Amino acid sequence: MRRAARERLKKRKDQPRKPVSPPKNGLVVKSLIPLAYNVFNARITLINNLKTLLKVVPVLACGWCGEIHVGPVGHPFKSCKGPNSSMRKGHHEWTNATIEDILPPVEAYHLFDRLGKRISHDERFSIPRIPAVVELCIQAGVEIPDLPTKRRRKPIIRIGKKEFVDADESELPDPIPEAPIIPMLTELPDSQTLAPSDDEEKLLLAEETLQAWEKMRHGSKKLMRVYPVRVCGYCPEVHVGPTGHKAQNCGEHKHQQRNGQHGWQSAVLDDLIPPRYVWHVPNADGRPLQRELISFYGKAPVVVEICVQAGANVPEQYKPTMRLDVGIPLDVREAEMVV
């Protein structure tokens, strides 16, 4: 095998280097630019709609741990693992949830040059951190004036395995700033969000929110196939780029042996957009969940559960985890009679 590998290397030296396709050559995949704008707008639509739905759909969050629950009354399950949970015997202390509880902020470093040098440990405070989905959209072609990034108009010239130089673009005309392909939405402040006036408006808002959630996830998954995203194997740190950064800020298991360095690996969609599964409440206006019937209840992503309680139809891919086909007994006695 080693002999064959050496022979392949000798043959490659005499042959011209194969051209590299974008985005590895520094250019942007033009066919994915509209998709990047759609993902960016879907995220803004999702945030604005969730702020509105929170005014009519009660969502609770535990003040000690990251558990959340959609419903007027928190669930009775003893699953709290926060500070002093043993003194409370695992019971949660419920408070009103915010948009950050529903959509956990997954941030990443903003790269001015996606193919440039890796971020060092000393630069960890000088480089801005933005939502990872936004950084993915920027690298895919979204133009945000406050977050500039280097756009090459000619492919890079490789001079080594990891070394390259930029092609000469002096003969090209100066780039003309163009308007966005798709109009970009902006996030609304909490003071400008108004509750739905009637049930029909709430239903339409829930359906639109569910569509934005699916559009953001499906679009991000397609972008991740072309633009690599890395995640630490020890902590939830995410980096959008071909290689992870060198900031030594990992504090998880045995980080002293690694000097705080991250163990980078390929990320999946749930690393970029955590779904945050919550217990599905079959009837929000009916009886609350019972601790003894926990084996009969299902789970769903918190965004899906909010939209379902607001009147939206349950998507097919979430029906198995929500266990809609399972009959729920009325009490413990009836549950004991189930064979």
Confidence bin at 166 (pLDDT 50/70/90):
confident
Per-residue pLDDT band for 314 (boundaries 50, 70, 90) equals very high
- Is the pLDDT at 326 greater than 80? The verdict is yes
pLDDT computed for residue 14 by the predictor: 66
Residues 207-228 have pLDDT tens digits of: 999 999 999 999 999 999 999 9
Residues 90, 93, 96, 98: is their CA dihedral positive or negative? negative
The predicted-structure confidence for 182-214, as pLDDT tens digits, reads as follows: 889 999 998 888 888 888 999 999 999 999 999
Please report where in the chains the tokens 């959209």 appear, as a residue: 137
CA distance 110 to 178: 22
Give the residue with greater pLDDT, 180 vs 69: 69
In the chain, what are the domain boundaries?
19-168+197-228+276-337
Peptide bond into 23 cis (omega under 30): yes
- pLDDT of res. 20: 79
In this model, does residue 180 exceed pLDDT 90?
no
Distance CA 38, CA 122 (A): 35
- Cβ neighbours of residue 49 closer than 8 Å, sequence gap 6 or more: 205, 208, 209, 212
What is the C-alpha to C-alpha distance for residues 226 and 193, in angstroms, rounded to an integer? 36
| Residue 123 in tokens | 């630069």
Let me know: does 253 contact 223? Beta carbons within 8 Å.
Answer: no
Question: Could you give the residue ranges of the DSSP H alpha helices within 28-97?
Answer: 33-53
Q: What is the DSSP letter of 259?
A: T
- Judged against a pLDDT cut of 60, whether residue 168 lies above it is answered with yes
CA gyration radius for the chain? 25
Query: Which residues have CB under 8 Å from 302's CB, separation 6+?
Result: 59, 68, 70, 102, 275, 276, 277, 278
In this prediction, residue 262 carries a pLDDT of 95
Pairing of strands 299-301, 277-279: antiparallel
What is the average pLDDT value for the chain, to the nearest integer?
A: 91
Q: What is the DSSP letter of 289?
A: P
Closest CA to 42 of 233, 267, 261, 211: 211
C-alpha pair distances (Å), 138 with each of 37, 86, 244, 282: 9, 45, 17, 40
Helix (H, G, I), strand (E, B) or coil at 243: coil
Residue 165 — pLDDT band, cuts 50, 70, 90? Answer: confident
- What pLDDT sits at residue 181? 77
How far, in Å, CA of 26 to CA of 155, rounded?
A: 6
> How much is the pLDDT for 62?
94
Q: What is the sign, positive or negative, of the torsion defined by CA atoms of 139, 142, 143, 147? A: negative
Inter-CA distances, 127 with 108, 118, 124, 247, Å: 10, 12, 6, 11
Which residues touch 157 (CB under 8 Å, ≥6 apart)?
A: 164, 165, 166, 167
pLDDT at 193: 87
Structure confidence by residue, pLDDT tens digits, 7-30? 888 887 766 667 778 898 889 999
Q: Is the pLDDT of residue 339 over 60?
A: no
- pLDDT, residue 12, reads 76
- Mean pLDDT, residues 112-116: 92
- Rounded-to-integer distance, Cα 318 and Cα 74, Å: 22
Res. 338: pLDDT tops 70: no
